[in-house]
Amino acid sequence: MKLLLVEDEKRMAQALAELLRLENYEVDVCRDGLSGLEAATGNLYDIVILDVMLPGIDGFELVKSLRKQNIRTPVLMLTAKSGLEDTVTGLDSGADDYLTKPFLTEELLARLRALIRRNIHSDDGTLSFGDIALETGVSSLICTATGQSVRLSEKEYRILEYLIANQGRILTREQLAVKIWGFDSDAEYNNVEVYLSFTRRKLAFIGAKTTIKALRGIGYELRYSDV
């Protein structure tokens, strides 16, 4: 899980980043609104933790701009005041949840877990798109139409998880390389191609009508066609 933390107060940012890394999240930190917006626009993060009062543009503007670009990464807002007004403005701007400073770290972690679950998993713990579903505990891919299933390798699973979480969006080869392998290089681009072809073979194997469509020079997208 990759988190983006946008917080201008240095000590707060460092303490939070350290806490989150201890919980095995990958964390990038931005210290102002504009660099935060630029980072979040890359759409590589599973969650954005966003302070409201920031230099450059504030948290409300940042999340509004993300949503306008149809980037749906869950946003947890950190509001300084306990005022109801800030909370309402935050949620109206497109934030998914908020936490009032000061907060207990346990509460922050619980909110993050809830957002992650809400974003990519349905109530029964599966991730689904079209006629396919991923079973999280056992890393298997199921075709809900044919009832057939197949085991996935870790990379195949993460590729499908990322594609499903971003359904309706095109993901670039670079985004997949960074997200799944953690690097963005020619070698990783080859890995992306190789693992996408493994994953496509498994989709075909279980008789799924969901496919990974390649859009030349742009990227990849999940498609489902019932015909």
What single-letter DSSP state applies at residue 171?
Answer: B
Please say which residue, 51 or 156, places its beta carbon nearer to Ca ion.
51
**What would the two tokens of residue 182 be?**
């953690």
CB of 57 to Ca ion, least distance (A): 12
Phi and psi, residue 154, nearest 5°: -60, -45
Provide the 10 A C-beta neighbour count for residue 161.
19
> By Cβ distance, which residue is nearest to Ca ion?
53
CB of 74 to Ca ion, least distance (A): 20
CB of 111 to Ca ion, least distance (A): 18
CB of 118 to Ca ion, least distance (A): 26
**What would the two tokens of residue 147 be?**
């009832």
Tell me which residues touch Ca ion (CB under 5 A).
8, 51, 53
Please say which residue, 20 or 78, places its beta carbon nearer to Ca ion.
78
CB of 62 to Ca ion, least distance (A): 12
CB of 101 to Ca ion, least distance (A): 9
Task: Kindly give, in sequence order, each residue whose CB lies less than 8 Å from that of residue 180, ignoring residues fewer than 6 positions away.
Answer: 155, 158, 159, 162, 191, 192, 195
| 112, containing H or E segment | helix 105-120
CB of 52 to Ca ion, least distance (A): 7
Please say which residue, 51 or 131, places its beta carbon nearer to Ca ion.
51
Please say which residue, 36 or 94, places its beta carbon nearer to Ca ion.
36
3-state secondary structure of 72: coil
Please say which residue, 13 or 203, places its beta carbon nearer to Ca ion.
13
Q: Partners of 215 in the beta sheet?
A: 219
Do 10 and 31 contact (CB within 8 A), yes or no? yes
- Start-end of H helices in 30-120: 33-41, 59-68, 84-93, 105-120
Torsion of CA 38, 95, 157, 214, to 10 degrees: -50
Please say which residue, 53 or 109, places its beta carbon nearer to Ca ion.
53
74/47 Cα distance (integer angstroms): 5
